[in-house]
Structure formats: C-alpha cells, structure tokens
Amino acid sequence: MSNKDYDLLNNPVPIADQNWERNISPLVTIGCITYKHEKYIRDSIEGFLIQKTTFPVEIIIHDDASPDKTPEIISEYEQKYPNLFFTIFQDENQFSIGNTPIFGNFIYPKSRGKYIAFCEGDDYWSDPLKLQKLVDFLEENPYYSLCSHESLYTYINDPNSLRKFAAIIYHNYKLSGFKRVRNLTVQFFSNSNEFWKRRRKHSGVERYKDADFNIALNTAMSDRYIPTMSIVARRKIMNSIPDEMFKLGAGHRLIILWSAIYGKLHHMKDVMGFKNTQESSVTVTKVTDVGMSLEDKKNETIQLLESLKEFTDEENKELLDKKIREIHAQLQ
C-alpha cells in the first residue's frame, strides 16, 4: 500500500489497520524505552495502536536487557505488525554501564519521522486522537517547537511503593519543611490512591498553554512538569542537542528547555494519557539506591542550566542566571 493510494485526509484510521509499506517515510516516530515493564508494556503498545491518524507512523521500541518477559511481549507485536515496529533489544543493560540517555543514543538515530512522540513502557496514551491533535497543531504552527497535553499521574501498586513515598517526603521536607510533610503523610495513609492521582490545576494549565522560554524554564523546574510521555517534538530540533548535554541526566527538562530555545511550546488541557509513578523510576532510584542527595540533584540541574547558556540569546541567559541563583540560594 503506497502513500499515494491511501487517502486518509479526512478519515483518521487506527495505525494498526493502516498497513503502510516500510519504505514510506513516516510523519511521526513513536519512541518507547522499556526495562522490566512486563506488567505495563501491553497497555503502552495498545495506546500506540489505537492512535487514529491521517499520516503514517513508525514505532521504535528499545528494551534495555529486561530480565522479565518484556522482550517477548514486544516481539509478539513486532511479528504481528512488521511494517510498523522497529525494535532494539540489548544484551547488556546500557543504563547500568553509563550509556545514557537511551533516547539520544538509540531512538533518535533510528527515527525517520518529522516529529517524535515519547512514551516510556510503563506509561500509556488513552486518547485515540492524541497524535493527530498534537501533530495537526505543529503542522499549522511552524513557530512552535513542541506540543504536549495534560496527563493524570497514577500509582503503580507494587510491594516497594513506600520507597517512592519516602523519596517524595524527603524532597518536600527539604523544600517546604515539616508542615508540607505532615499534610502529605496524612493524605497518603488516609487515601493513597488519591495521593498518587496528581493533576495540575486548571489555572496552571492555562499558564502553560502557550509558553515562552521563561514559562518553560519555570515549568521544567517544578514538580508539576510536563511529562515526557505527553510530548510531541520536532525531530530536527531534538537531533540538534549536543552529545555532551545528553550526559547530564536531564530527561524531560532537556527536551522542554532545548525546544523552548527554538520556539514556543503549546500545552493542551485535555487529558490524553497516564503517567505511572513507581519505585523503579530513575529519579527514585537515584535517591534510594545511588544515594544522590537533594544537593547533588540541584547541582546536576545547575550544570544543565549553565550548559544551555551557550546556545541561547542574552535575554534567555539572564533568565537562566536568575534560576541558577535561586537554586544556589536553596543550597545555602
């Protein structure tokens, strides 16, 4: 089936049913990274396959040597949709040997789409028109570099959940003191499900709706950041990120701030997916396993902001310097 023969202009069809030939250039690359996600990866992949689009899509999944059944589940889908999936299976865990970030080192080089949509293997999309809505906006607004949507934060019920709770308490005590910790503790033990279902206030969503660099900077530094799984970005901009910046462990902050250097960011208020929180996330692991202190994390952030100054204008440099001074003050 060729692009010319496949007229979807006004009739979006689930990508699972589209059957584009492998040599057709996709408009969007879905990039997915996984590790020990056998309980969640089906939901994530099904969230891709229900997407209804008027354009071709490719799915690149990188599994970082999962010791569970995650690779088997991914292979099952690859065999069913050979023209849709491109998979990368590692024999050795790349994260553990410092070969990070996975997106920058493995997903970006294989991507062919004009846009790249991000999703980790334990998160999932719920709106079948998510890609169509975000890509339509970027196609119609070339001065915007990134589009995102509102998401619900949900709790993955695993036996080590208290580690995640402990990390949150530690951070909030350092930032806001005992009163904030007391309120969070009461909420956690009285209704833990609601504790994990965090959603940005509507006023906050409106503020981020059309963000310049200043708003993007404050958003990226907050605990109500735009989750990576909600983002569609221009791949050309992502590919321009210098290799050395990938080594700063900045994750979503690097994606948001680098995009904000090249254009405005648009955030849609509709909930189109779910960001799962679990004890094995990179942030929690740094706190509970590696022993990274809040001071270490803030110094890591300062290093990122200092690095960005080389690539932006004087106005944005002043904003970065202001934020760096604020972080230094918190360390005093």
DSSP string, 63-82: E---SSSHHHHHHHHHHH-T
CA distance linking residue 269 with residue 267, whole number of Å: 7
The whole-number pLDDT of residue 129 equals 94
Give the 3-state secondary structure of residue 272: strand
The whole-number pLDDT of residue 125 equals 94
What are the φ/ψ torsions at residue 87 (nearest 5 degrees)? -115, 150
Q: Flag the least confident range among 80-89, 146-155, 159-168, 310-319.
A: 159-168
CA distance linking residue 294 with residue 300, whole number of Å: 10
Residue 188 lies in a domain: no
What does pTM read for this prediction? 0.82
Whether 253 and 119 have beta carbons less than 8 Å apart is answered as no
Provide the number of structural domains found in the chain.
Answer: 1
Domain that holds residue 89: 13-157+198-279
Q: Averaged over 195-218, what is the pLDDT?
A: 72
Residue 4 lies in a domain: no
Residue 331 lies in a domain: no
Residue 65 lies in a domain: yes
Q: Flag the least confident range among 145-149, 174-178, 247-251.
A: 174-178
Where residue 39 sits, what CATH number does that domain have?
3.90.550.10
Residue 42 lies in a domain: yes
Residue 324 lies in a domain: no
DSSP state of 286: I
Q: Which among 148, 143, 116 is positioned nearest to 133, based on CA atoms?
A: 148
Q: Averaged over 296-306, what is the pLDDT?
A: 83
Residue 183 lies in a domain: no
Triad 233, 239, 241: Cα angle to 5°: 100
Q: Averaged over 77-104, what is the pLDDT?
A: 87
- pLDDT confidence of 19, banded at 50, 70, 90? confident
CA distance linking residue 100 with residue 184, whole number of Å: 33
For the chain, what percentages of helix, strand and coil (3-state, to nearest 5) are there?
50, 20, 35
Residue 296 lies in a domain: no
